[in-house]
Amino acid sequence: MFQHLQPAPADPILGLMARFREDPRPDRIDLGVGVFRDADGRTPIMRAVRSAEQLRFAEEDSKVYQGMAGDPAFNVAIGELALGPLAATLADRVGVVQTPGGTAALRVAADLIHTARPGARIWLADPSWDNHAAVVRAAGLQVERYPYLDPSRTGLRAEAMLAALRAVPAGDAVLLQASCHNPSGVDIPAAVWAEVAETAVRGGFLPIIDMAYQGLGDGLDEDAAGLRMLAARVPELLLALSCSKNFGLYRERTGALAVLTETGPQTRATLSVLLQGVRNAYSMPPAHGAALVARILTRPALRLDWADELAGMRAHIGHMRDGLAEQLAARGLDLAYLRHQRGMFSFLNVPVAAIARLREEQGIYLLDSGRINLAGLSDVHLDRVASALQPLLAV
């Protein structure tokens, strides 16, 4: 059966992770893979997560199945974190299911769209996260693109984006990142979110919001402002959530998909179809990460500790953005845009061949696209990284 199969190409991000791990140089620097590292270069377990684990081990008395929708307490808590005060207002119209990470939430969303409207197309930003298109196509849907970044890859083409969205046919879906845009760090401002919401209502497309970095941009509420603006106005919406970055639960695969429809009965019917797909795909999500998040978000002391540590992570990313911009400015390069963008990622306009040389000669790893993970930097790296980048950016 398998004799004709050829090796699949490596995923650009996971493939880079493997190459980094195989590199024997002790001073290598990973600025490609999207994980947060603290000032000591570690990705530690967050304090509140550690405390929640201790509570869970003390309190858990069974390993029985939880069901296809996952942990009910997690579903309520993560929905409230995302939607804020709107969670109560929209309670009858919103349903949440736990998924094995944000990627699974996106795949379940795409499968749901394919079931509801097989000919629907999914419109992605140009550029978007590398895996978005693959997930959509794997569900049997066609990918289209709308303009997002300006030619310098440092700012938003707001008018071009809005013009493209106005032309999206009713019944198609548009995927938008809530904040901390991956791969560019260029976010949608409030005024443009308002236009997007109005366009969705008038045009009839379905918004899919991918929120993987809530709290790592400007704050928990600030990073969800665009999502909430849409949810308050549109009749239908899908929301994919990830706890990998803001809870540090990368390997625990903790995510959720929220569904908003026009009525309570419609939401319940939609969830029944969605869960049928879940049953056919993975049956039910893993319990551990969701149990931790539920405890953190529902116990005031844990939630306060988590929010405080998350604020420190956000500040560290901002400090690294400022630090790299300052180091490059001292070398005669103006990359002030790094200060104004948000989240873990930005683009550096470095040729692919030069990025390969950075890896081979200096042990500094970036994606071939030029995406840099600012959250992978620390103060001890800034001078070395800036010195390595200076001749490449000055070309």
Catalytic residue among 210, 225, 256, 290: 210
Q: Is 187 among the residues known to form the active site? A: no
**What is the share, in percent, of the chain residues with pLDDT greater than 90?**
96
- Phi and psi at residue 182, in whole multiples of 5°? -105, 115
pTM of the prediction?
A: 0.97
Residue 323 has pLDDT above 80, yes or no: yes
Sheet holding 121-126, edge to edge: 94-99, 255-260, 237-242, 206-211, 173-177, 121-126, 142-147
Catalytic residue among 82, 212, 240, 375: 212
Q: Which whole number is the average pLDDT over 146-164?
A: 98
Kind and range of the H or E run holding 96: strand 94-99
Q: Is 129 among the residues known to form the active site? A: yes
Q: Is 63 among the residues known to form the active site? A: no
Catalytic residue among 30, 48, 139, 245: 245
Q: Which pLDDT score is estimated for 132?
A: 98
Q: How far is CA 196 from CA 11, 34, 127, 337, 353, in A?
A: 32, 28, 18, 24, 38
Q: Which pLDDT score is estimated for 395?
A: 64
Q: Which pLDDT score is estimated for 394?
A: 77
Q: Which pLDDT score is estimated for 104?
A: 99
Cα 377 versus chain centre, distance: 19
Q: Which domains occur in the chain, in start order?
A: 12-45+313-390 (3.90.1150.10), 65-298 (3.40.640.10)
Q: How confident is the model at residue 377 (pLDDT cuts 50, 70, 90)?
A: very high
Catalytic residue among 82, 87, 110, 129: 129
The rounded mean pLDDT for the chain is 97
- What does the pLDDT look like over 21-75, one tens digit per residue? 999 999 999 999 999 999 898 999 999 999 999 999 999 999 999 999 999 999 9
- What does the pLDDT look like over 283-315, one tens digit per residue? 999 999 999 999 999 999 999 999 999 999 999
Tokens of 337: 């845009």
